[in-house]
Chain A
Amino acid sequence: MIKSEMLAYEDIKKQLDKKDKVGIVTCNNCARLCGVGGPEKAEALEEKLSKDGYKVVSTADMLVGCNYEYYKDANVSPDATALLVLSCPVCAKVVEQIYKDKKAIKCAEAVGAFILSPSKNRFKVEEVFQGHEAKKGTEYTLLTGDPLKDQKM
């Protein structure tokens, strides 16, 4: 599983134009477990964007965002001009490759790989990408990605 962390909302917004018709693509695999993806995060982002005057035209709730095959029946509006990807940067690359007529906007950065324990409601980062070395061994709450101070895994 891949641990990602959301970019600041302002940094996501900066990549949009007010005229953009926004589509949201949200992943329900790794990204949901680490608090970046899933329908809840998509709804929250849509609400914020709508309040700020952006037009959200579709939300694609993907089972797995890094598998090209799942996009065949994805709910991505043909009218969308920008797609916000609530997933790891790899999914943003996949979206970019599939929807070449739209802007694919990365909303999260990859931190590393994790193991999880639903019974303990937490996950632990076991392997990290460059720049995230300090997070190796850190445990986080499942579905929110909130860092925990103790270690149980």
Chain B
Amino acid sequence: MIICARTKSYDDIKAWLTPEDKVIVMSCNICIKGCGIGGRRLVDRLAKKLEKDGFKVIHTEIVGFACNQDLMEERRDHPMTKDIFAEATAIIPIACGEGIHNASHTFHDKKVFDGIAGLGVGSVSAKEGPKLILPFDPTLAEKLGGIPEDGIKLKDMAAKLGLQTGGF
């Protein structure tokens, strides 16, 4: 799975939105859920927070795999969802870099929030959570002071890199 961390905060989302925006919060349900950043519960929590702060969230959506272009386009074109997606002005995709790229490609006429980075590939377990084993950026291991054979815990890595974990 792709190991992700947040590069932006909830305040960054608020600063990025305007009061006129019609917002859709959507999440991938695979790697980003495994990393504790996305999934249904955290999408609903973010939508509620935004509504409390006066923003207009018109829809929330879970996309099984945000890296699957067809699934993203299906949301845009399906009779059940096309009107709501047509109405939206801002999309907040909770996904890895590839999922965010897909959202930008599919909803190119809307603004798309980019606040999560995919850092590399890793494993997940109930005991230790997500761990990064193979970083995309070869200098990351050096920045982290090395990566153990069985990986580095996402929380530890994020703390060292000044990134954030958990839901927005």
Contacts and interface: CB of A to CB of B under 8 A. Distances in A.
Interface-central residue, A2, A94, A113, by most chain B CB under 10 Å: A113
A103 B96 CA distance: 32
Contacts of B1: 64, 66-67
Nearest to B69: A117
B101 to A, nearest CB: 6
B142 interface: no
Interface stretch (A5-13, A15-23, A50-58, A125-133): A125-133
A127 B101 CA distance: 11
22 contacts: A1-B2, A66-B124, A67-B1, A69-B125, A90-B121, A90-B133, A93-B133, A93-B150, A93-B151, A97-B150, A110-B134, A113-B2, A113-B67, A113-B98, A113-B136, A114-B98, A115-B102, A116-B65, A116-B68, A116-B69, A117-B70, A127-B97
Contacts of B67: 1, 113-116
Given A115-B68, A127-B97, 14 more contacts: A1-B98, A66-B122, A66-B123, A66-B124, A68-B123, A69-B124, A89-B133, A90-B123, A90-B134, A93-B150, A113-B98, A115-B69, A126-B101, A130-B138
Interface string A82-125: 00000011100110010000000000001011111111100000
Interface string B1-24: 110000000000000000000000
A148 interface: no
A153 interface: yes
Interface string B122-153: 11111100000110101000000000011100
Nearest to A89: B134
B97 A126 contact: yes
A127 B98 contact: yes
A129 B102 CA distance: 20
Give the size range of B's interface with the partner: 20 to 34
Nearest to B125: A68
A119 B126 CA distance: 35
Interface string B21-44: 000000000000010000000000
Given A110-B134, A117-B69, A93 B2 contact: no
A113 B97 contact: yes
A113 B118 contact: yes
Contacts of B96: 113
B70 A119 contact: yes
Contacts of A128: 136
A115 B70 contact: no
A98 B122 CA distance: 15
A87 B70 CA distance: 24
Contacts of B127: 68
Contacts of A118: 68, 70
